[in-house]
Chain A
Amino acid sequence: KAGVTQTPRYLIKTRGQQVTLSCSPISGHRSVSWYQQTPGQGLQFLFEYFSETQRNKGNFPGRFSGRQFSNSRSEMNVSTLELGDSALYLCASSFLDSGELFFGEGSRLTVL
């Protein structure tokens, strides 16, 4: 059974650009959640989707957005990138909306 797949794994952007990250959950999982990890703040919750609906959002500015498609794949977008957006972005999927989490390897974003 394939795990959670995140693409791209690494990317470098400059300030002001935008970025889109993709997450393909484990087959059959309908919940996808996104997290940001930085050395200073640790892991922080970004948002969660279940059956194409955003169910909750963390304390991040509106530049951070996401969506989920009918096949449960999810994307997150960060517009007008800032240096502080440099981080490891992780997604996780679960079968139930509050179930065990299965994490992808993450997308490491560097903003120059």
Chain B
Amino acid sequence: KNEVEQSPQNLTAQEGEFITINCSYSVGISALHWLQQHPGGGIVSLFMLSSGKKKHGRLIATINIQEKHSSLHITASHPRDSAVYICAVPMYSGGGADGLTFGKGTHLIIQP
């Protein structure tokens, strides 16, 4: 079964700083998800990626399949980026019927 480790668990930064959140997993996968959860519970899917790099606005996600590692970067961080960021991967080999296993999340606070 896949094990997911996220770091850091908590991160406080100043507005404008470059943010990096890391995710490592133990079993080879077909795709990895980055999710964002704001206070109150709602979860938004930020990225689903299986190789290389994806960019959406100020958010960039990269994945290294060989090293079983992914990073989420936020450029020019803003207080509205304050949220919990969660990495998720297939529970097993990534076949079509896999459920997901989740990291414990990174609590990010961006101070003005």
1/0 per position for B27-46, CB-CB distance to A under 8 A? 00011010100000111110
Q: Chain B residues near A42 (CB, 8 Å)?
A: 102-105
- Give how many A-B residue pairs fall within 8 Å (CB-CB): 60
Q: Is the CB of B44 within 8 A of A103?
A: yes
Give the one of B44, B45, B99 with max A CB within 10 A. B99
CA A48 to CA B88, docked complex, whole Å: 15
The A interface, classified by DSSP as helix, strand, loop or mixed, is: strand
CB of A84 closer than 8 Å to a CB of B: no
Complex Cα spacing A33 to B88, Å: 14
Are B96 and A97 interface neighbours, CB within 8 A? yes
Contacting residues, chain B, for A76 (C-beta < 8 A): none
Interface size class of A (residues with CB under 8 A): 20 to 34
- A105/B105 in contact, CB under 8 A: no
Assembled-state Cα–Cα distance A51/B88 (Å): 23
Residues A44 and B96 in contact in the complex (CB < 8 Å), given A98-B30, A103-B42: no
Option from A90, A99, A108 in Cβ contact (under 8 Å) with B43:
A90
| B35 neighbours in A (Cβ, 8 Å) | 101, 103
Contacting B at CB under 8 A, from A35-58, are 35, 37, 42-45, 47-48, 55-58
0/1 string, B51-78, CB within 8 A of A gives 1: 0000000000000000000000000000
Nearest 8 pairs of A and B residues by beta carbon: A45-B99, A43-B102, A103-B43, A55-B97, A56-B99, A100-B48, A106-B41, A56-B97
24 contacts between A and B (CB under 8 A): A35-B100, A37-B41, A42-B102, A42-B103, A42-B105, A45-B91, A45-B101, A45-B102, A48-B99, A55-B96, A57-B99, A58-B91, A90-B41, A90-B43, A92-B43, A98-B31, A98-B94, A98-B96, A99-B48, A101-B45, A103-B42, A105-B41, A105-B42, A106-B41
